[in-house]
């Protein structure tokens, strides 16, 4: 059963990674990142339940992942608003200032 949960997490993480790498829209990139964090939450919950349910560490990790998701969304939207207001940009290809 643990393997099934981890396969679900791997599939969600792969789909999210595809979105984060391929999408041009800033908000769609954020959706990909959220899917990846969601995969981490599923994997942490499953490993907690199947290996060490007597310890609370797995649950705390899920809570921290949820916090990371909230921070990512809040800061992502704030940055999207700032760059849209400054340059009228809403796609990642137009915001490549740090491109090497």
Partner 1 sequence: MAEWAVFVVCALAAVAAAVAVFRVDSMARATFALLASFVFTAVPVLLLDLAYLGVLIVLMMTMEMVVMAVFMIMFMMNPAGLMPMTMVHNNKGALAISGAVFCVLAAGALLVPWPREPAPPPPADPTLQLGKAIMGGHMMVMMVAGLVLFATMVAGVVLATGRGRYDRYGDDLRGRPDDPIRGGVGR
Which residues would be at the binding site for partner 1 (CB under 8 A)? 1-19, 21-25, 27-28, 30-32, 34-35, 38, 41-42, 45-46, 48-54, 56-57, 59-60, 62-64, 66-67, 69-71, 73-75, 77-82, 84-85, 90-93
Q: How far is the CB of 33 from partner 1 (least distance, A)?
A: 11
Where do we find the tokens 């340059």?
A: 87
Structure tokens at 84: 């849209």
Nearest residue to 36 (alpha-carbon basis) of 14, 62, 13? 13
| 52 phi/psi in degrees, rounded to 5 | -145, 60
> d(Cα 57, Cα 48) in Å, to the nearest integer?
8
Nearer to partner 1, 21 or 98 (CB): 21
Grouping H, G, I as helix, E, B as strand and the rest as coil, residue 88 is coil
Complex with partner 1: residue 85 or 98, whichever CB lies closer: 85
CB of 100 to partner 1, least distance (A): 16
């Amino acid at each position: 059963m643990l393997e099934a949960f981890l396969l679900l997490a791997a599939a969600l993480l792969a789909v999210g990674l595809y979105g984060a790498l391929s999408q041009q829209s800033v908000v769609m990139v954020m959706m990909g990142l959220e899917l990846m964090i969601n995969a981490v939450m599923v994997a942490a919950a499953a490993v907690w339940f199947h290996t060490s349910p007597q310890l609370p560490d797995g649950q705390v990790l899920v809570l921290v992942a949820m916090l990371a998701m909230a921070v990512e969304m809040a800061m992502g939207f704030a940055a999207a608003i700032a760059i849209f207001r400054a340059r009228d940009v809403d796609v990642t290809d137009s915001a490549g200032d740090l491109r090497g």
